[in-house]
């Protein structure tokens, strides 16, 4: 499901566009490749999804995980959803690259420390766009 307004967004904000989900690179993150799968309609819980949206979400997170391994060389990915932060109660799912050299103190839920880093450490828009373009190419080969 494409439309002109979404096509006009920078690559980092439209890595993947599906009927129920849009994939973006996380803003204000200090970890390159931190992706967010955002529901295209307002829902606050996976329980509110239709069967089609839930099926699509499973395939999207699988495809993104494969693409992140391909593009970033990460060993695996974390796939998590909390939707608790102030202003972020809309259902969104984080797909986070887990590199083998990720410090032990920043593994598991502690990986969210990468969203609390100072602006000087955030991934630049140019880097996000480059990653987004590489991910889109990789995703095209994963079905």
pTM for this prediction: 0.92
**Domain parsing of the chain, residue ranges:** 4-116
User: Is the pLDDT at 58 greater than 50, yes or no?
Assistant: yes
Note the CATH number of domain 4-116: 3.30.428.10
List, for residues 3-54, the tens digit of each pLDDT value.
Answer: 668 778 899 999 999 999 999 999 999 999 999 999 999 999 899 999 999 9
Could you give the CA distance from residue 45 to residue 63 in angstroms, rounded to a whole number? 22
3-class secondary-structure state, position 47:
helix
Q: C-alpha distances in angstroms, 53 versus 13, 37, 73? A: 20, 12, 29
* 8 A C-beta contact, residue 135 and residue 71: yes
Q: Read off the tokens for 18.
A: 């599906």
Q: Which residue has the higher pLDDT, 47 or 1?
A: 47
Q: Which residue has the higher pLDDT, 82 or 55?
A: 55
Q: Which residue has the higher pLDDT, 88 or 63?
A: 63
User: Is the pLDDT at 1 greater than 50, yes or no?
Assistant: no
């Amino acid at each position: 499901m494409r439309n002109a307004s979404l096509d006009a967004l920078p690559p980092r904000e439209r890595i993947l566009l599906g009927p129920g989900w849009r994939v973006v690179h996380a803003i204000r993150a200090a970890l390159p490749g931190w992706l967010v799968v955002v529901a295209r309609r307002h829902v606050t819980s996976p329980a509110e999804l239709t069967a089609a949206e839930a099926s699509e979400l499973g395939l999207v997170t699988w495809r993104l995980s494969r693409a992140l391994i391909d593009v970033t060389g990460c060993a695996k990915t974390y796939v998590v959803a909390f939707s608790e932060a102030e202003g972020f109660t809309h259902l969104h799912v984080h797909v986070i690259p887990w590199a083998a050299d990720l410090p032990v103190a920043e593994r598991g839920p502690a990986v969210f420390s990468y969203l609390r880093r100072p602006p000087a450490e955030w991934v630049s828009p140019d880097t996000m766009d480059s990653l987004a373009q590489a991910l889109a190419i990789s995703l095209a080969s994963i079905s």
